Amino acid sequence: MNPGLYIHVPFCLRKCPYCDFYSESDLTLKSAYLEALSREMDLVAEALQAPGEFDTVYFGGGTPSLLDPVEVEGVLNEARSRFFIAREAEVTLEVNPGTVTAEKLAGLRQAGVTRLNIGVQSLDEKTLKFLGRLHNAEQARDILSAARSCGFTNIGADLIYGVPGQGKGDVLSDVAALLSYDPEHLSCYMLTLEEGTPLYARHGKKAFSMPDDTVQGTLFETVSDALTQKGYLHYEVSNFARSQAHVSRHNTKYWEMVTTVGLGPSAHGFDLEGLFRWWNVAHLGEWMDCLKKGKRPIEGTETLGQGELMTEALYLGLRRMEGVNLAVFHRRFSVDLAKVLGACLSGFEEEGLMVVDADSIRLTRKGFAVADGVVLRLLQAL
Ligand code: SF4
């Protein structure tokens, strides 16, 4: 599989209270960031031994839609001048509906973006308010319509559910509202409390209570049923695609553990040849300082041994619809999973959490809802 290029755009107009991604709000640093980004491309291009043809570029953040179309075009041109980027590459840009207009979306398409991932999160005013989002429901609706009218044929939307007080009906109406825009892809995430965020602190002060495991399980199944009944593939625990052709090509690279190159503060990369992972410093100033000195802004690296690779292959494989192919796993690790995990797998089959056949082991929809727990128990038994 071809490698993928990730570009972290570390700016947000303001911080959402549930989010622990790295970002800064001082947009005057944008041009210095872009300058440093091209220096990082130089250093990475020099360091990489023939990484091959990149067939995905992903602008993530932060809020990549704070870049102007001309800046996005500039970054893509800089990347093309240093890396071999396929002509038909999937170029995704994450969009915060509070930061774009229809005109800007048209400009992004012109600049070479082929796929938008719109951070809608909800089309319900109360939910958006709880999440502290910059945009309101009307803005999100306008941007969903504008994305289509200006010619995007591959539109993804993010949805957050499991917000305190939300019931099945609320989640269903949010899903139905989103489906009226016919997105090609949906990423649906259960709200989680990340340590160190303002939402986590408010929860600690008992300002609200989170839905319990049973409610979360019901909501997970509600979302999955609603989307699969409309023909979407539930192809990964949190991801749905209108067809196989609309599965996120870029994210599949992480799940299949192929080479990905991450640029920008806090970005991660993985080198399949050397089986090591690296990550950049999560601080814009330090990242730029390193690059000024001609050094790559790498904070840490980790070389993966057989054990770690096996754990990841099992974890990432079981989070996907296809599951883990037994023959491929055996070829790679010389481990017969069906034999080693026999009793454990039968137990999960009896509970309706897993399907085990001659070719693969995979989670059922019920199993998807408790994927982390199932994988943990399998790893303990391995
Ligand atoms: S816009 Fe996205 S990256 Fe920025 S704070 Fe909100 S959730 Fe986090």
Distance between start and end Cα atoms, the chain: 28
Q: What would the pLDDT profile of 98-114 be if each residue is shown by its tens digit?
A: 999 999 999 999 999 99
pLDDT of residue 131: 97
Cα 179 to middle of ligand 1, angstroms = 23
Classify domain 306-381 by CATH architecture: Orthogonal Bundle (1.10)
**Do residues 199 and 18 make contact, with C-beta atoms less than 8 angstroms apart?**
yes
State the burial class of residue 233 (Cβ atoms within 10 Å of its Cβ: 0-12, 13-18, 19+): middle
**Do residues 103 and 65 make contact, with C-beta atoms less than 8 angstroms apart?**
no
Q: Which segments within the chain are labelled E, that is strand? A: 4-9, 54-61, 85-95, 115-121, 155-161, 185-190, 233-236, 239-241, 260-263, 268-271, 276-280, 298-303, 324-325, 354-356, 360-363
Pocket around ligand 1 at a 6 A CB cut-off? 12, 15-16, 19, 21, 23, 61-63, 96, 119
Q: What would the pLDDT profile of 121-130 be if each residue is shown by its tens digit?
A: 999 999 999 9
pLDDT of residue 45: 93
For residue 132, the ligand 1 atom closest to its alpha carbon is: 6
By residue count, the chain amounts to: 382
Q: Is the pLDDT of residue 274 over 80?
A: no
Q: In terms of Cα–Cα distance, which of 240, 236, 237, 213 is closest to 226?
A: 240
- Spatial CB neighbours of 308, under 8 Å, sequence gap ≥ 6: none
CB atoms within 10 A of CB 356: 18
CATH class of domain segment(s) 4-254: alpha beta
Q: What would the pLDDT profile of 276-330 be if each residue is shown by its tens digit?
A: 899 999 999 999 999 999 999 999 999 999 889 999 999 999 999 999 999 999 9
> What tokens were used for 363?
């989670």
Torsion angle, CA of 69/91/43/63, rounded to 10 degrees? 60
d(CA 322, CA 359): 10
Q: What whole-number percentage of the chain has pLDDT above 70?
A: 100
For residue 15, the ligand 1 atom closest to its alpha carbon is: 5
d(CA 169, CA 139): 23
Cα 104 to middle of ligand 1, angstroms = 19
- Spatial CB neighbours of 139, under 8 Å, sequence gap ≥ 6: 97, 98
Q: What whole-number percentage of the chain has pLDDT above 90?
A: 92
For residue 119, the ligand 1 atom closest to its alpha carbon is: 2
Amino acid code (one letter) for 45: A
pLDDT of residue 382: 83
Mean pLDDT, residues 157-161 taken together: 98
Cα 296 to middle of ligand 1, angstroms = 26
d(CA 120, CA 147): 13
Mean pLDDT, residues 168-190 taken together: 97
State the burial class of residue 334 (Cβ atoms within 10 Å of its Cβ: 0-12, 13-18, 19+): exposed
Q: Between the CA of residue 252 and those of 198, 229, 256, 326, what are the distances in Å? A: 31, 24, 6, 19
pLDDT of residue 48: 85
More confident: 52 or 69: 69
pLDDT of residue 271: 86
pLDDT band at 362 (very low <50, low <70, confident <90, very high): very high
Mean pLDDT, residues 81-87 taken together: 95
pLDDT of residue 273: 75
Q: Is the pLDDT of residue 381 over 90?
A: no
| Shortest-distance Cα residue to atom 3 of ligand 1 | 62
Please state the domain extents for the chain.
Answer: 4-254, 306-381
Question: Could you give the 3-state DSSP secondary structure of residue 273?
Answer: coil
| Shortest-distance Cα residue to atom 2 of ligand 1 | 62
pLDDT of residue 39: 98
Mean pLDDT, residues 94-100 taken together: 97
d(CA 91, CA 154): 10
Q: What would the pLDDT profile of 8-37 be if each residue is shown by its tens digit?
A: 999 999 999 999 988 999 999 999 999 999
Cα 12 to middle of ligand 1, angstroms = 6
Q: Is the pLDDT of residue 50 over 80?
A: no
pLDDT of residue 1: 87
| Phi, psi of 347, rounded to the nearest 5 degrees | -60, -45
Q: Across all residues in the chain, what is the average pLDDT?
A: 95
What does 178-221 look like in DSSP terms, one character per residue? HHTT--SEEEEEE----TTSHHHHHHHTTSS----HHHHHHHHH
Q: In terms of Cα–Cα distance, which of 329, 331, 319 is closest to 382?
A: 329
> What tokens were used for 83?
């890396």
